[in-house]
Each structure stands twice: as C-alpha cells, then as structure tokens.
Amino acid sequence: MKEFRGIGVSSGLVIGQVYVLVKKDIETFSRKRISADPQAEFKRYSESRERVLAYLQTIVKNLEINGFEERAGIFEGHMEFVDDEDAIAEIEKVLGNGELSAEAAVSDYYKECSNEMAAMDDPYFQERASDFLDVREKLLLALQGDSLQPLAAYPEDAVICCRELVPSDTALLDRTKVKGFVTETGSSTSHIAILAKALGLPAVAGVDGLLASVETGQFVFMDGSSGSIVLEPNQVFMKQAGKTIRDAQDRRQHLLEKSCLPAVTPDGRRIRLFSNIGSLDEAKVALQLGSEGIGLFRTEFLYAEKPQPLAEQELIEVFGAVADIFEDKPVIVRTLDVGGDKPLPWLDIPAGDNPFLGYRGIRIYKEFIDLITCQLRALLRANAVESRDLRIMFPMVISQEEVEWLIELVHTIESSLTEEGLAYRHCLLGIMIETPAASLMADKLAPMVDFISIGSNDLTQYTLAVDRGDTAVHHLYNPLHPAVKRSIEHIIAEAGCYGTEVGLCGELGGTREGIEFLAFLDIDEISISGEYILEARDLIRNMSM
C-alpha cells in the first residue's frame, strides 16, 4: 500500500482500477526543422487542418447530443483556433521561407500562443494555455497520420492517470466506465477540474511522481476532496474505504432528497442559497442540487476559450439559456471582470506592477466601451422574456461617481434599444462590494442600487493586505478575521437601512464556520460553489441557536 497526496479538485470517493494514459511524444517530430518544398509542406498543413476540424466537429456533435452544449463550446473555440485567418497566414508565411517543416511551423506558432497565456497572472487564464497546446498536439498528430483520440480503450471502473489532460483527450469518453482522474500537473482551475466537475466525477491534480509509481490494472482509492490517493490498498483499508464511500453516498442521497426544502434556521430566519457558476453546464448541475438562483455568473469564463469577443447574439443565447434553466429565479450576471490579473489574449491590457490593484473590472470599461455595451445590450435583450429574471452586477466599485456612470450607461443603452425597435426589459442593477473603500461607503452606495453582493475573497485580501495566491503569506489570509467580519456586518447593516438586498459570494460561504457566522446576520442570500450547497442547507436547517 502506497499513499500519495495531491490537490483535490473535484469531490468524491471511489475505488477503481488504474489506467495509465501514455501519449505519443510529439516533441520528437515537432523538432523537425528543415523543409525542402514549401508548397508541399503547406499542402500537408492544410490537409491536417481539415482533418483536425472534422475531428473537432465530431466532438461538438457528440457533446451536443448528450446535453453538454457548454462543453461543446470549448471545442468550437478550438475550431476557431485551427481555422483562424491570422494563424493560417502566419504559418503560410513561415513555410514560404523554406526553412521549416509543417510540424515545426505549427509547433512554434501554437506554443508561442500557449506561452503568452501561461505568462498571465490569473491562474484560470494560465490554465487556458492548455487549449492552445491541445490544438498544437492534434495538428502534429494529424501531420504524422496518427490517431487523434488517445482514450480509445480503457477498462471498467477506470481511474485515468496521466501527466496532464487537455480538453479533447476526454471529450468522447464513456462516463459509465470512468470513475475518476488523477494527474501529475494541474490545479483547482485546470481543465481536469472543470471537466470532472461537469461530469460529476472525482479528480485529484498535482500528484508529483504519479506515473513513476502506478501501473495499469492496479487498484486505487481516491478522495477528490482531500486529494488523497492510496495505491494497492490492503484489505483492512479497502473494507473501511468501502464503508466510507457507502456512508458518503447515503449522506448525499439524503441531502438530495431534501434539496427542495428552504434554508430556514430553527428560529425562522430564511436564507436563500444561490450558486456560483461560469458556464451553462454548471447552471444545470446547480439546479439539480436545489439552488434557488445564481448569485455569481462569471462572464469572463465565456470569453476565455475564444480567440475574439463574443457577438451580441451569442451572449443573448447564453444568458437566455441559463435564465430559462432557473425560470423565474434570479440569475445575477457579473459584467466582464478582466484586467491585469485576469487578461484575455485579444484584449490589450498591460499587466502592471500590481495587477490586483490595477487596471481591472469596471476601470477598463470606458476604454473598451464597445465590449461592455455589447454585454449589457445582450443582458437587457435576453431579459425581454417575461419568465426570466436576469440581474446585472458590476465589479470593483469604489465610489458613488462610478455607480452613477454605470447606471447612466445602462439608461443610455436602453434608449438606444428603444430607438432601434428591439425588445428588452430592464434588469435589476447591483454592485459587488469587495474593497474597503466600498465597504466604508456602503451607506452611500446601498440606496443607489437594487442589490449588493459581498465579494468575500477580495474583501478579505484587500482588508488584510494579504495576497491569497502568495504561499509565503497565505497563512494570514482569514475570511473570519475580526476586521473582515466587522466589514461584512457593517455592509449588511447599512444595506438593511435602505431595504437593499444583500448577498455574499466567496469562499466564506462555502465553510461551516462561514455559514454559521452569516446565518446570524440579516443576509438575504449566500452564493456557494459546487455541492457544498447541500451541506449548507442542512447546516442552516439544523443550526443550534
């Protein structure tokens, strides 16, 4: 019996069989540099591009048929990367010099794109570098005439173990056979985390030395919450693990049966439980878990897989689809929150020396007015359907002047839609309070908006002057620090004076201690990530008063 420890990125307990995924070493033939015939190399590249596009189209159709429209969008983005005019022109130009093979030209171009994403400060966007590497890998395999699907055959109860997974590796897998994923690389924002959560499978990432220790066919126990991996567990461990898994399954089923019940404390305090999402797939899962609405729809995730901005009609369809899932329940959409710490490859924003305090959130809106106008138009138009309750939330607000400008911007857009004869309906407007400045000004900001959402993650790091991503000071990051608690209490009290709804989204709402603290305040809703909403509901209903 051998134990490993990684990062739990998707919760769940399973016992299964190891299946080691060994991928072909594409680096060997990507180093082929010399070309004798530029025209022949471009023809090979063009034919390979067509083959990859056909393969990606198969993935898209398969995912759409099986109800994974949002995941299908990832591969539609990959198709755009493959068929991008700038990419084709650049590779054709390089091949025309007669110095590189098609493999080398493709490898260099997409690796450079990946490196640009990896150099960004935000972990989520760093992980999107794998999308470019995925496209690169498929084109190189096609140039060599190899199979584009690495997971062609695997046993029942397979726990896929590999160095890393890119999106297309798992797009066609049979989820009835696969029990979980373990990778040597990755983090809580990596593709493996997103994929596993969408499929409802446990996953552990960042397991150093994994592949040197496992073999296909070995039994393995994994805990997707704690990140624990036990290889070839003994009989005593297996018996206990089996009982733990059964207990966890029974507990989850018990909580699911009560997911339709309201979260009401024993003394009658009603707290609505919402979900944090970044995609349509996550919205579907949230509803199954009994979510009463969406408290945070991170719209920047919609743009991360795309080589260019989404069109207005595309946004209308996405916002409308999520709102229709929740019918008349609130769907709070945070407007684009990107910048130096969360950049997009097609948006020219300098990182700055301290991106968390720099050019980000609403601070970029005046420069990129067309981008935010498109998003606001889409939200207003999507909300034209009477059964929908889409709400607009602006991030990184610090002053009354900013709120006044944002409200005026919405009114101007509504006037334009009226002049154009386009149907729309006003959305409730809110702000995130995630800075000490906004917290201290809560008495002035609350009467200006329909609702407030406390962004506890940023509020904590700004209040304590602690970068939550810096391991050297991470021990100082405490959402329940007395100063943070005072700030939250102040915000809720001031909002209550004006009848302004107030909620919270952030890690604080996903812990027992956080729920217990918030339940004693007059907070209207708590927005939670993942399955913890089941535990939160049970905790609130059975809380000791």
272 known ligand binder: no
Can 254 be counted among the known catalytic residues? no
Indicate the DSSP class of residue 334. E
Per-residue tokens: 275:
């979900």
Per-residue tokens: 8:
């739990």
Superfamily classification of domain 2-23+151-251: Phosphohistidine domain (3.50.30.10)
Three-class secondary structure of residue 168 per DSSP: helix
122 known ligand binder: no
In 11-58, the DSSP E strands lie at 13-20
- Mention the CATH class of domain 269-542: alpha beta
- Mention the CATH class of domain 38-144: mainly alpha
8 Å CB contact between 154 and 160: yes
Q: pLDDT tens track of the chain, all 545 residues? A: 888 899 888 888 999 999 988 777 676 655 565 666 888 889 999 999 999 999 898 888 877 776 666 677 788 888 989 998 989 999 999 888 877 889 889 999 998 888 887 776 666 666 677 788 889 988 988 988 887 776 666 778 899 998 887 766 766 667 678 899 999 887 765 666 766 776 678 899 889 888 899 999 999 999 988 899 999 988 888 888 889 888 988 998 999 999 999 999 998 999 999 999 888 878 988 999 999 999 999 888 787 667 678 899 999 999 999 999 999 999 999 999 886 555 666 677 766 666 667 777 899 899 999 999 999 999 999 999 999 999 999 999 999 999 999 999 999 999 999 999 999 999 999 999 999 999 999 999 999 999 999 999 889 989 999 876 666 777 888 999 999 999 999 999 999 999 999 999 987 887 889 998 998 898 999 998 777 899 899 999 988 76
Can 411 be counted among the known catalytic residues? no
434 known ligand binder: yes
- Where b means 16+ CB within 10 Å and e means fewer, 333-361 reads bbbbbbbbbbbbbeeebeeeeebbebbbb
363 known ligand binder: no
- Write down the domain spans for the chain: 2-23+151-251, 38-144, 269-542
Residue holding tokens 């959560």? Answer: 197
DSSP state string for 205-257: E--TT-TTT--TT-EEEEETTTTEEEES--HHHHHHHHHHHHHHHHHHHHHHH
383 known ligand binder: no
Residue 487 CB-half CA count within 13 A:
27
Instruction: Provide the whole-model pTM.
Output: 0.71
334 known ligand binder: yes
DSSP state string for 262-309: --B-TT--B-EEEEEESSHHHHHHHHHTT--SEEEEETHHHHHT-SSP
Please pick, among 113, 161, 191, 427, the residue that the annotation labels catalytic: 191
